[in-house]
Amino acid sequence: MDSCKCPTCGATLPKDGVLLDRESGIVIANGRFAQLPKNEFALFAALWDAGGRVLTKEALMDQLYDLFAEGEEPHIKIIDVYVCKLRKKVKNLPVSVETVWGRGYRILPQQEVKEAS
């Protein structure tokens, strides 16, 4: 059987679909999981909740802004850094974090990426 156990509760993970455990920062997809730091999880959740729509860097900054320390004004380039880190951490999951040049980023399930090709 190709299932695995949740690292926080020990429950068997679902084989289909993507689940976000917003409390623990874990992304679960097709029996696999990735635990993400707070900012990277927030980025993943924002992109996933967009349902495949492209989000601009500015829109992502607006959604992540409250995660930065008070008085800290991060540069918009930080989104690129988080996307790079996020891609490395979810590479074993059946999702694709895509760059849409000149527009922003989106996340798609792998099967949709294959169909679009």
Residue 12 resides in a domain: no
In a domain, 3, yes or no: no
pLDDT at position 4:
61
Cα angle value 50/52/56 (rounded, 5°): 65
Containing structural domain, residue 82: 37-116
Q: How many domains does the structure of the chain reveal?
A: 1
14 within some domain: no
Q: Is 30 within a domain? A: no
* pLDDT at position 48: 93
- What is the Cα–Cα distance from 114 to 91, expressed in whole angstroms? 15
Q: Residue 93 domain-assigned?
A: yes
Measured N-to-C along each axis, helices 38-49 and 78-89 cross at an angle, to the nearest 10 degrees, of: 90
pLDDT score for 20: 86
pLDDT at 3: 56
Residue 26 vs residues 2, 21, 114: alpha-carbon distances, Å? 19, 5, 25
pLDDT on residue 113: 47
Q: What is the pLDDT of residue 7?
A: 63
- Residue 67 is part of a domain; what is its CATH number? 1.10.10.10
pLDDT in tens, the chain (117 residues): 345 666 666 666 555 678 888 888 989 887 788 999 998 999 999 999 999 999 999 999 888 877 665 666 677 888 999 999 999 999 999 999 999 999 999 999 876 444 454
Residue 88 lies in a domain: yes
| C-alpha to C-alpha distances, 9 to 12, 28, 62, 73, 104, nearest whole angstrom | 9, 13, 32, 37, 35
Q: Is residue 6 domain-resident?
A: no
Does residue 10 belong to any structural domain of this protein? no
What's the confidence (pLDDT) of residue 44?
95
